[in-house]
């Protein structure tokens, strides 16, 4: 099992992870014993990728994934929008994230950028069409994208791993995988464990947060059973903390890694 935590690149961005000075955050993440970071990036065209690559290398941290959610939450760009011009901008943005992903060997997350729609049928059709185009870029750049189901209060398009699997099969590209997030799964899945097991073959990344989105161990999710399900499907990729900064961001990071250490033993 490899461990990572979400880290914002731009110092003024507030992530579900560590925000502020990138260098000191990477130093701290490494000191705590994590193997990697998931980059949370607001503007893929304005960050110094080479500087990030060097910093991650210095602190011996992999970068398994890049989060793209701010494209929707700040800029309002979504892959399912009823307006073609918005979808085009969102797709272009994913292409820019993929360019970074290629340089850093990171997968690109398709989470909030899926958007929310008034009309489900046309929304899912638009999302599928946009994903086909994103998959084309992902193939060109040999950098996978990951569909992340979100809970119903954040999106009305893909809420479960089953729905994500169906979409993945429709898009039908080896560069499209799935990821899970225990916080969303707790709200949407009939069984967190069975859904993880069923996603075997497509599951390439996972966010860990407890039922209240605090560090694992601070809520009422059964992480023993979740870890068993992951073991059963021989999941060996990253477990990434995507958590609220409670009681503060560094303590949340510490609580997570200690909890995961205990679970491993
Ligand atoms: C948002 O709730 C989330 O889980 C992110 O990983 C998606 O962009
Ligand atoms: Mn997530």
Closest Cα partner for 69 from 102, 40, 106, 98? 40
Q: Does this model's pTM top 0.95?
A: yes
For residue 112, the CA-to-ligand 2 centroid distance in Å is 9
CB 37 within 8 A of CB 29: yes
**What pLDDT does residue 88 have?**
98
**What pLDDT does residue 218 have?**
98
Q: By percentage, how much of the chain surpasses pLDDT 70? A: 100
Q: Work out which ligand 1 atom sits closest to the CA atom of 72.
A: 8
CA 85 distance to own-chain centroid: 25
Average pLDDT, the chain: 97
CB 3 within 8 A of CB 238: yes
Q: Which of 148, 188, 189, 204 is catalytic?
A: 148
Integer Cα distance of 154 and 203 in angstroms: 21
**What pLDDT does residue 80 have?**
98
For residue 238, the CA-to-ligand 2 centroid distance in Å is 13
Q: State yes or no: pLDDT of 96 exceeds 90.
A: yes
Least distant ligand from the CA of 155: 1
Q: Work out which ligand 1 atom sits closest to the CA atom of 6.
A: 6
For residue 181, the CA-to-ligand 2 centroid distance in Å is 5
Active site residue 50: no
For residue 148, the CA-to-ligand 2 centroid distance in Å is 7
pLDDT in tens, 29-85: 999 999 999 999 999 999 999 999 999 999 999 999 999 999 999 999 999 999 999
Q: Work out which ligand 1 atom sits closest to the CA atom of 112.
A: 8
Q: Work out which ligand 1 atom sits closest to the CA atom of 183.
A: 4
Pocket of ligand 1 (CB under 6 A): 67, 69, 109, 111-112, 148, 150, 154, 181, 207, 242
Q: State yes or no: pLDDT of 264 exceeds 80.
A: no
Q: Closest Cα to atom 5, ligand 1: which residue?
A: 111
Closest Cα partner for 43 from 96, 5, 80? 96
Beta strands (DSSP E) in the chain are 2-8, 36-40, 62-67, 107-110, 145-147, 176-181, 203-208, 238-241
**What pLDDT does residue 1 have?**
83
Least distant ligand from the CA of 78: 1
The DSSP bridge partners found for residue 108 are 66, 145
Instruction: Look at residue 238 and give its three-state secondary structure.
Output: strand
Using pLDDT thresholds of 50, 70 and 90, give the confidence band for residue 263.
Answer: confident
pLDDT in tens, 211-248: 999 999 999 999 999 999 999 999 999 999 999 999 99
**What pLDDT does residue 196 have?**
98
Q: Closest Cα to atom 1, ligand 1: which residue?
A: 112
Q: Closest Cα to atom 7, ligand 1: which residue?
A: 111
Q: State yes or no: pLDDT of 127 exceeds 80.
A: yes
Closest Cα partner for 85 from 126, 54, 118, 57? 126
Active site residue 251: no
For residue 118, the CA-to-ligand 2 centroid distance in Å is 23
Least distant ligand from the CA of 74: 1
Q: Closest Cα to atom 3, ligand 1: which residue?
A: 111
For residue 106, the CA-to-ligand 1 centroid distance in Å is 16
């Amino acid at each position: 099992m490899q461990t990572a935590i979400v880290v914002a690149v731009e110092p003024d961005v507030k992530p579900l992870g560590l925000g502020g000075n990138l260098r000191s955050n990477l130093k701290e993440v490494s000191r705590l014993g994590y193997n990697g970071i998931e980059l949370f990036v607001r503007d893929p065209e304005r960050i110094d990728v080479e500087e990030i690559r060097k910093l991650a290398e210095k602190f011996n941290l992999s970068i398994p994934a890049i989060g793209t959610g701010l494209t929707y939450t700040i800029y309002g760009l979504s892959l399912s929008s009823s307006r073609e011009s918005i979808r085009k901008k969102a797709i272009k943005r994913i292409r820019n994230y993929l360019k970074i992903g290629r340089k850093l060997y990171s997968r690109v997350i398709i989470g909030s950028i899926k958007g929310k729609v008034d009309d489900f049928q046309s929304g899912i059709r638009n999302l599928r069409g946009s994903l086909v185009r994103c998959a084309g870029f992902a193939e060109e750049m040999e950098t996978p994208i990951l569909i992340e189901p979100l809970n119903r209060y954040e999106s009305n398009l893909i809420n479960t791993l089953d729905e994500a699997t169906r979409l993945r099969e429709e898009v039908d590209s080896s560069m499209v995988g799935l990821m899970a997030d225990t916080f969303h799964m707790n709200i949407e899945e009939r069984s967190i464990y069975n859904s993880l097991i069923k996603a075997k073959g497509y599951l390439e990344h996972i966010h860990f947060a407890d039922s209240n989105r605090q560090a694992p161990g601070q809520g009422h999710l059964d992480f023993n059973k979740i870890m068993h399900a992951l073991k059963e499907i021989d999941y060996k990729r990253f477990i990434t903390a995507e958590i609220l900064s409670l009681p503060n961001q560094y303590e949340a990071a510490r609580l997570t890694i200690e909890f995961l250490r205990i679970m491993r033993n």
